[in-house]
Structure 1
């Protein structure tokens, strides 16, 4: 297992993309082009980060730039954990009433990254989601369509790496799972041209073109928002303090291949672990 710092260094390079913000229902708010440069300093003992975003001028087609510059020599971010691919999760150590909750996720596949910022208001209602699609400068990336429910149907097999919030020691296991696995306690199946729910512990499923909503046995209500570039995010619609919950970013980066990051909190609102899952569709099995 690489050290946390070696995992951070997997993100070095110049990444071109955009910060796209949508409401909790997936309605667009804004789309800001961006360039982020992460350069190793002193034989990669530190990292120099420059983030440039290009904002629209009022009543104009032109844009102006804003920069953020940051130097760091330890893994950045509150409550941050990194994985061997360079994927990472960071966010609040404890969720409390009256305080905004923000979590960030990042998945990386060769020269592409899919990042996500989930923001909950002080009442712990999901307020907005910002997703960041990026590729390394001077590289080409495959064009990934807006994620569809059908892209998620099937039996997924892969490897799970879990890092406890209080330790850098990973727990690595192999698992076979069926769409969104045992985390949600249900699976989606195809019946002719419709999509049906096989109920496990989840209830009250509603489905629109880009939004799935359901509730768990502990009365925590969740939603899955389907996004461009093969991404999706799963969050509580409102975090119920006193109930354990999780936050997730998923990315179907190629047909039948996906990565997932899951950040878990216990019933006291304390962050307890982060999990990275790399999976492929088992072509020998159906969704049923």
Structure 2
């Protein structure tokens, strides 16, 4: 198992993409082209990061560049954990009443990355999500098309690596889940639990877990985000990103919080589609 810093280094390079921010139902708020460069310095003992975003000028088709520069020599991010391919998640160590809650995720597949930032407002309501689809500068691998519900149907199997911040330990287990289309909606069976899902549009699925309402929003480039519509102290919850980076191959990151609002674990899944259900 690689060290945290070795996992960070898997993200070195120059990544071209955009920051597309949408409302919970998928309505686009803004889409800002971007270039982020992560350069190893001092023999890769530190990283020099330059993020450039290109914002539109008022009443013009032209854009202006705005840079953020950051140097770091330890894994960045509050509550961050990195996994072997370079995937990572960061976010609040605990939910605090009256304070916005942010969860960030990133998945990587060689020369492509799919990242999201999920934002809950001061009242705990799911407010918006920014997804960042990127490729390495100089590569020609095309982005995948808009994810559809049929892309997720079937039985997925792989490995689940979980990090527990309280003990700084990790466990590795097998993962197995099946999403099936029914006459009315869909059914997800995972870890012997069954969840009924309802499609409210071709991009949005809704379900209830532990008495809390959740939604799954499907994104371009084969990705999706899962989040509760409302978080509140006294109720455990989880937030998730998934990415079908090539047909039949999926990565997922799930960040879990307990009933006190404390971050209690992050699980990274690498899965393959075994078979399609008979419907």
Sort the TM-score into its range (normalised by shorter chain).
over 0.9
Question: TM (normalized to structure 2)?
Answer: 0.94
Alpha-carbon deviations, 1:68-120, whole Å to 9, x = none? 00000000000000000000000000002110000100000000000000000
Structure 1 residues 247, 240: CA separation in 2 closer, same or farther (over 3 Å shift)? same
Q: 1 CA distance for matches of 2:222 and 2:182? A: 19
1:207 to partner: Cα distance? 2.8
1:176 to partner: Cα distance? 2.4
Structure 1 residues 73, 204: CA separation in 2 closer, same or farther (over 3 Å shift)? closer
1:52 to partner: Cα distance? 0.3
Alpha-carbon deviations, 1:247-287, whole Å to 9, x = none? 0000011111110000000000000111100001103x636
Structure 2 residue 237 is the aligned partner of structure 1 residue 245: yes
Q: 1:254 aligns with which of 226, 242, 246?
A: 246
Q: Name the structure 2 match of 1:79.
A: 79
Q: 2 CA distance for matches of 1:78 and 1:112? A: 24
1:198 to partner: Cα distance? 6.6
**The residue matched to 1:282 in structure 2 has which SS?**
strand
Q: Name the structure 2 match of 1:7.
A: 7
CA RMSD in angstroms, aligned pairs only: 1.7
Contact 2:20 2:131 in 1 (8 A): yes
Q: Name the structure 2 match of 1:275.
A: 267
**The residue matched to 2:77 in structure 1 has which SS?**
coil
Q: Name the structure 1 match of 2:133.
A: 133
Q: 2 CA distance for matches of 1:89 and 1:167? A: 17
Give matches, 1:1-288, under 5 Å: 1-179=1-179, 188-189=180-181, 195-197=185-187, 202=195, 205-216=198-209, 218-283=210-275, 286=277
Q: 2 CA distance for matches of 1:86 and 1:248? A: 17
**The residue matched to 1:21 in structure 2 has which SS?**
strand
State the 4+ residue runs in structure 1 displaced beyond 3 angstroms.
Answer: 194-206
Structure 1 residues 287, 270: CA separation in 2 closer, same or farther (over 3 Å shift)? farther
**The residue matched to 2:99 in structure 1 has which SS?**
coil
Q: Which runs of 5+ in 2 are unaligned?
A: none
Contact 1:147 1:226 in 2 (8 A): yes
1:206 to partner: Cα distance? 4.5
Contact 1:189 1:198 in 2 (8 A): no
Question: TM (normalized to structure 1)?
Answer: 0.91
Contact 1:115 1:131 in 2 (8 A): yes
Contact 2:197 2:205 in 1 (8 A): no
1:141 to partner: Cα distance? 1.5
Q: Which runs of 5+ in 1 are unaligned?
A: 180-187
1:201 to partner: Cα distance? 5.3
Contact 2:145 2:221 in 1 (8 A): yes
1:208 to partner: Cα distance? 1.3
Structure 1 residues 240, 31: CA separation in 2 closer, same or farther (over 3 Å shift)? same
Alpha-carbon deviations, 1:52-77, whole Å to 9, x = none? 00000001010001000000000000
